[in-house]
Amino acid sequence: MSKEFKQSILGLAMVLPSFAILLIVVIIPIVQSFVMSLSNGEGGYDLSRYAYLFTDKGMRSNIIFTLRITAITCVLVLLVSYSLAIYMRFNQGPVVDLIRKTYMIPLFIPGVIATYGLINLLGNHGWMARMLEVIGVELPRIIFDEKGIIIANLWFNIPFTTMLLSSALSAIPSSVIESAKDVGVGRFTLFTKFILPLSYKTFMVAVTFVFMGVIGSFTAPFLIGANSPQMLGVSMQQVFSVFQEREQAAAIAFFSFLLCSVLGAFYIRSMTVEEKGKV
């Protein structure tokens, strides 16, 4: 056998275990969910389960609610995380040291514990409500609606996103930044022409992770979300366990997968176009 053929066989052998795991854990369940979602309960197959997602008023509200929460959370997470990453990259001092030592702490707190903490802090009879009551101020309703879900998702996603963006910004050579400053480049131009393009790949990775994490979130929406409308993850659980409609739950799950696939396809296309531009 030629050397090239042996290398091809070796490469294939190294890829097969990962592909097998992907096939068993991801691809096969997705296919099974799609086939199950097509069942109409009468022995046939159609798209009635998907039509229900858009014709039922409650389900439409759940979809719109999920997309709104996801969009707001993504924007806020990226704004806060990018600001923190840039501040830590281009500044020094005790405040920067404090941020670096503490911003990762939420990653080590389980989601259930963090959500319980938010309930005790921001609930109608929580710590903050009792403290404000002393000075005669009534705490407005924060949790048990979309504000609580957004706050919880900010807690879960800001540390990891900040870590990703900080890693990307630390890889930007200081000489590039200093050279741009020496020729009189302003802060806005420095960000749009140098910092953002040089960290664009990591930025897209962060967007993808945050989007998929929020749109498929369950713990916080289940514990501090309203009864209606609901995030799709909570709605799927209700349909599956309470109403015992497995096929409809499968349709919700596959629809959620399609929503994530849209962003995944955009990310892959963006990376492909960028790589072609470098050739």
pLDDT tens digits for range 162-201 = 999 999 999 888 888 888 888 888 888 888 888 888 888 8
What pTM was estimated for this model as a whole?
A: 0.86
Q: Does any domain span residue 36?
A: no
Average pLDDT of the chain is: 87
**pLDDT interval class at 72 (50, 70, 90):** very high
- pLDDT in the model for residue 184: 82
What separation, in Å, do the N-terminal and C-terminal C-alpha atoms of the chain show? 33
Rounded to whole angstroms, how far apart are CA atoms 29 and 275? 32
Q: Does any domain span residue 19?
A: no
- pLDDT in the model for residue 274: 62
For 242-268, write each residue's pLDDT tens digit.
Answer: 888 999 999 999 999 998 888 888 777
Q: Does any domain span residue 101?
A: yes
- Answer whether residue 22 shows pLDDT above 60: yes
CA atoms within 13 A on the CB side of 57: 1
Would you say 115 and 220 are in contact if contact means Cβ atoms under 8 Å apart? yes
Would you say 49 and 130 are in contact if contact means Cβ atoms under 8 Å apart? no
Q: Does any domain span residue 239?
A: yes
* Of residues 230, 214, 217, the one with CA closest to residue 58: 230
Q: Does any domain span residue 171?
A: yes
- Answer whether residue 41 shows pLDDT above 80: no
Tell me the residue range of the domain where 222 lies: 57-278
For 73-103, write each residue's pLDDT tens digit.
Answer: 999 999 999 999 999 988 888 999 998 889 8
Total tally of structural domains belonging to the chain: 1
- pLDDT in the model for residue 66: 95
Across the range 199-222, mean pLDDT stands at 90
Rounded to whole angstroms, how far apart are CA atoms 74 and 162? 13
Q: Does any domain span residue 145?
A: yes
**pLDDT interval class at 51 (50, 70, 90):** very high
In the chain, pLDDT over 90 holds for what percent of residues? 38
- Answer whether residue 273 shows pLDDT above 80: no
- Answer whether residue 156 shows pLDDT above 90: yes
Q: Does any domain span residue 93?
A: yes
Rounded to whole angstroms, how far apart are CA atoms 229 and 211? 19
> In this structure, what CATH number is given to the domain that contains residue 183?
1.10.3720.10
DSSP 185: -
Would you say 211 and 70 are in contact if contact means Cβ atoms under 8 Å apart? yes
Q: Does any domain span residue 72?
A: yes
- pLDDT in the model for residue 197: 87
- pLDDT in the model for residue 276: 60
